[in-house]
Structure 1
């Protein structure tokens, strides 16, 4: 059973992940000017990749509690399905149907590919 220390670390990691997301998204928005939201795309694809690695190495290189803190806490706070959904709907409501489809489906496809790549690389690393 998960202990109080793991729960505390999970909460802290979630806050750190959210702060990292805020910082990275702001940095991307300041440098990349496009009609699509590149920060959210980068964050979710990167998060899926890292979660794939974390999942693959759990039980060999890291403990299930570490997976909980890193996966659910840090990466759960870092990635953002709700923002991605809202940004996609906002594009559609503005009449940018192609951009909305590219954003929604593009992020899904890239995140799935990144997760698969992370799982594969993590399994190689874990042996």
Structure 2
């Protein structure tokens, strides 16, 4: 609609993103507490970031195949993609964990942890995109119209 405010300037959308973010952050915090870091490496955070990347790739590709980013699709993308998955995944914890490992002199572990997270995240988002593309809704196929020749025979 002409004159309509963009989603990032609407309080209702901001509230939905914040709600989704609170949910994602709470789930991440519960998982991180249930499965603490081992020898300074948080395998739980690595798994959370990789699973989140996969889910985001799957979500965005699936929504893209269903039509333009408007209405319910946009709301769903903002709540689940930006909100829930944005709160669930965490670059800041990855950076902090890596910095702590490096600061403690564990250069191989710190560098490996950061690199592994990024590489697995890229592979996961690619897998999510591929999966969504493979299971996208099929468009209705129109039957071909019969073509009549001028001679009357078909």
TM-score of the superposed pair, with normalisation by structure 2: 0.75
**Counterpart of 2:134?**
124
**Counterpart of 1:19?**
26
The answer on whether the counterparts of 2:20 and 2:84 sit within 8 Å (CA) in structure 1 is: yes
TM-score of the superposed pair, with normalisation by structure 1: 0.89
The answer on whether the counterparts of 1:26 and 1:39 sit within 8 Å (CA) in structure 2 is: no
1:69 to 54, 71, 79: 79
Aligned pairs (5 A) from 1:1-127? 1-2=6-7, 3-29=10-36, 33-59=38-64, 60=66, 63-127=73-137
The answer on whether the counterparts of 1:47 and 1:79 sit within 8 Å (CA) in structure 2 is: yes
The answer on whether the counterparts of 1:37 and 1:87 sit within 8 Å (CA) in structure 2 is: yes
Name the structure where helix makes up a greater proportion of residues: 1
Q: Which consecutive unaligned segments of at least 5 residues does structure 1 have?
A: none
RMSD: 1.8
CA-CA distance at 1:34 after TM superposition: 4.2
Aligned length in residues: 125
What's the secondary structure of 2:135's corresponding residue?
helix
User: Which of structures 1 and 2 has the bigger CA Rg?
Assistant: 2
Deviation track 1:33-83 (CA, whole Å, cap 9, x = no partner) reads 444211110110010000001111114187122111111100111110011
CA-CA distance at 1:7 after TM superposition: 2.6
Greater relative CO (CA pairs within 8 A, separation 6+): 1
